[in-house]
Amino acid sequence: MSRTKIGVLISGGGTNLQSIIDNIDKGNINGEIKLIISNKRDAYGLERGKKAGIQSIFLSPSDYSDFQSYNRKLIEEFKKRDVELIVLAGYLKILSKDFVSEYKDRIINIHPSLIPSFCGKGYYGDRVHQAVLDYGCKITGATVHFVDEDADTGPIILQEAVRVHEDDTVESLQKKVLEIEHQILVEAVSLFCAGKLRVEGRLVKTNRGDNCETRTN
């Protein structure tokens, strides 16, 4: 089976990106990252990519006339390399309708909560974990989903839960959730590259016959 060509969009440190790189190297993902693009010049994920020998570039949205033009440039760069799967690994911008249409059911995102809780506009990074603590939740977690035209509303691929303890802080909760982010993002990418994900409406089916995997740590 040929290796799936992967494109990655990032905005920050790229720890989820590193997990994908490491698991490709270990043979756990039948894929190859062809291009990494960041909308932030100082995103450390770009350095991670370069160290792994992957073409990694910064494209500034301010260099383009509008949101649509920037997204058309992203599409152009990925299409040049015949990219088949787009992974959003901490990418903090919304994709255009044209982008989502071009890669329908081929864009995977990771979000640090159990969607549909604490997701959508304004919920990213530490804001998510603070909201979980402020609400008094006993369980939170992470979700991998396909991207549609709205924020965090696409079909769910995998989920995993972690317990929220009374002494948890934003920092401690973020650390626990990030650990499972690395696990389920890698698993979702691996399943896609193996041809084992099928979307039927809101249901994502795998060869295991379920639409999500939920474990509570």
Q: What is the pTM of this model?
A: 0.93
Residues 119-146 have a mean pLDDT of: 96
Fold of 109-217: Rossmann fold (3.40.50)
Q: What is the pLDDT of residue 38?
A: 98
**pLDDT recorded at residue 217:** 53
Specify the long-range contacts of residues 127-135, CB closer than 8 Å, at least 24 apart: 129/170, 129/173, 129/174, 129/177, 130/170, 132/164, 132/173, 133/164, 133/168, 133/169, 133/170, 133/173
Say if CB 182 and CB 174 are below 8 A apart: no
138-189 pLDDT, tens digit each: 999 999 999 999 999 999 999 999 999 999 999 999 999 999 999 999 999 9
Q: Residue 108 region, left (φ>0) first, then alpha (ψ -120 to 50), else beta? A: beta
> What are 82-94's pLDDT values in tens digits?
999 999 999 999 9
**Fold (topology level) of 1-103:** Rossmann fold (3.40.50)
* 75 phi, psi to nearest 5 deg: -60, -45
Check for a shared fold between 1-103 and 109-217. Answer: yes
- Please give the span between the terminal C-alpha atoms of the chain, in angstroms, as a whole number: 35
Nearest Cα residue to 211 out of 166, 114, 112, 145: 145
**What's the CA gap between 200 and 202, in Å, rounded?**
6
Whether the pLDDT of residue 127 is over 70: the answer is yes
What confidence score (pLDDT) does residue 208 get?
53
Q: What proportion of the chain, given as a percentage, has pLDDT over 90?
A: 93
In this model, does residue 209 exceed pLDDT 50?
A: no
C-alpha atoms less than 13 angstroms from C-alpha of 185 in its C-beta half-sphere: 31
Q: String of b and e for 52-75 (b: at least 16 CB within 10 Å)?
A: bebebeeeeeeeeeeeeebbbebb
Q: Is the pLDDT assigned to residue 123 strictly greater than 50?
A: yes
The ranges assigned to domains in the chain are: 1-103, 109-217
Q: Answer whether the bond into residue 61 is a cis peptide, omega within 30°.
A: no
Residues catalogued as catalytic: 111
Q: Which residue has the tokens 């073409």?
A: 55
Tell me if 154 sits within 8 A of 183, measured CB to CB: no
